[in-house]
């Protein structure tokens, strides 16, 4: 049965970008304000879920051609690599480092290596959530 | 001014109780879904008033988060009620 949900699809095309921008904001603001990799990953997954609700699974897989299992593996690898990189500098496992840099657009910014670990958490959360939802949603 | 926030909080809570009544009693499922959607909106206003009362601005992200989750949940419920399944495999066939 073909149904015409043009209002839902048009609203989704606007709202998805707002949710994705909010997810990126919450991911980067996690060091000083509430938020972080977990909430940002869940928000990104919910934006993709909203796309899947208003379109269909095959279209979303065509416009976002990610293999979510590989994404989970890359996230775990990133977290382990951030933790293991401290061994190279002769400090204990999981020691983080930070410094202040002069970036061209942002001015003086403090970059912390915990952000890379958080990026790993983000990728794992998005990958696991989307794997669960795709596996449940795809059976006929 | 703080008295005004407390009065607003009490009024919103009374509205919340009415929505809970509709959620429990509602004859059809659509009544319950609309009640849940409005409960989400009431929660947003309760969080806003609480962040005014406690004088913190760290709750403001929860407001946006709650409204996004309420929106997606209502759409999922509505699609389940209309078609019987939430995710289509392919729309065009």
What mean pLDDT value characterizes chain A?
88
pLDDT digits (tens, 9 = 90+) for B13-67: 999 999 999 999 989 999 999 999 999 999 999 999 999 999 998 898 999 999 9
Candidates A3, A16, A31, partner chain B, best to mutate (most B CBs within 10 A)? A3
Q: Which residues of B touch A137 (CB under 8 A)?
A: 86-87
ipTM of the shown complex = 0.85
| Interchain contact, B88 vs A56, CB within 8 Å | yes
pLDDT at A56: 84
Q: How many CB pairs under 8 A join A and B?
A: 53
pLDDT at residue B41, as a whole number: 94
Q: What would the pLDDT profile of A86-102 be if each residue is shown by its tens digit?
A: 888 888 888 888 878 78
Which alpha helices (H) appear in A55-138, and where do they start and end? 57-63, 68-88, 114-137
The answer to whether A20 faces chain B, any CB pair under 8 Å, is no
pLDDT at A98: 81
Q: Which residue of B has its CA nearest to A34?
A: B58
**Mutate: best of A19, A21, A53, partner B, most B CBs <10 A:** A53
Contact between residue A60 and residue B81 where contact means Cβ atoms under 8 Å apart: no
Q: What is the pTM of this model?
A: 0.87
Q: Can you give the residue ranges of every domain in chain A? A: 6-137
| Range picked from A33-37, A74-78, A82-86, A105-109 for highest mean pLDDT | A74-78
For residue B4, what pLDDT is reported? 93
What are the Cα distances from residue B29, in Å, to A60, B26, B35, B80? Answer: 29, 7, 10, 11
Residues of A with Cβ-Cβ distance to B83 under 8 angstroms:
1, 3
Stretch A45-52: mean pLDDT, rounded? Answer: 93
Q: What is the pLDDT of residue B86?
A: 80
Model confidence at A115: pLDDT above 70: yes
Task: Name the pLDDT band for A108 (thresholds 50, 70, 90).
Answer: confident
Please determine, for residue A140, whether its predicted confidence score (pLDDT) is greater than 80: no
Taken in order A68, A40, A9, B33, is the CA torsion positive or negative?
Answer: positive
B66-78 pLDDT, tens per residue?
Answer: 999 999 999 999 9
pLDDT of residue A2: 64
Compute the distance between CA of residue A12 and CA of residue A61 in angstroms, rounded to an integer: 16
| Residue A100, strand partner residues | A110
């Amino acid at each position: 049965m073909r149904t015409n949900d043009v209002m839902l699809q048009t609203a989704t095309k606007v709202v998805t970008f707002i949710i994705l921008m909010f997810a990126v904001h919450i991911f980067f603001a996690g060091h000083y304000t509430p938020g972080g990799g977990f909430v940002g990953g869940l928000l990104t997954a919910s934006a993709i879920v909203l796309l899947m609700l208003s379109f269909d699974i095959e279209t979303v897989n065509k416009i976002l051609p990610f293999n979510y299992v590989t994404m989970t593996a890359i996230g775990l690898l990133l977290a382990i690599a951030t933790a293991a990189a401290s061994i190279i500098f002769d400090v204990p496992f999981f020691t983080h480092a930070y410094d202040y840099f002069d970036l061209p657009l942002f001015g003086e910014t403090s970059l912390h290596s915990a952000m890379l670990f958080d990026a790993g958490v983000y990728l794992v959360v998005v990958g696991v959530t989307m794997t669960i939802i795709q596996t449940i949603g795809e059976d006929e | 001014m703080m008295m005004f926030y407390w009065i607003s909080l009490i009024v919103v809570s009374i509205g919340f109780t009415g929505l809970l009544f509709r959620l429990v009693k509602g004859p059809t499922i659509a009544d319950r879904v609309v009640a849940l959607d409005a409960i989400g909106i009431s929660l947003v206003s309760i969080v806003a008033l609480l962040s005014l009362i406690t004088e913190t601005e760290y709750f403001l992200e929860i407001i946006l988060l709650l409204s996004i989750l309420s929106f997606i949940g209502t759409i999922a419920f509505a699609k389940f009620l209309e078609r019987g399944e939430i995710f289509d495999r392919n729309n065009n066939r």
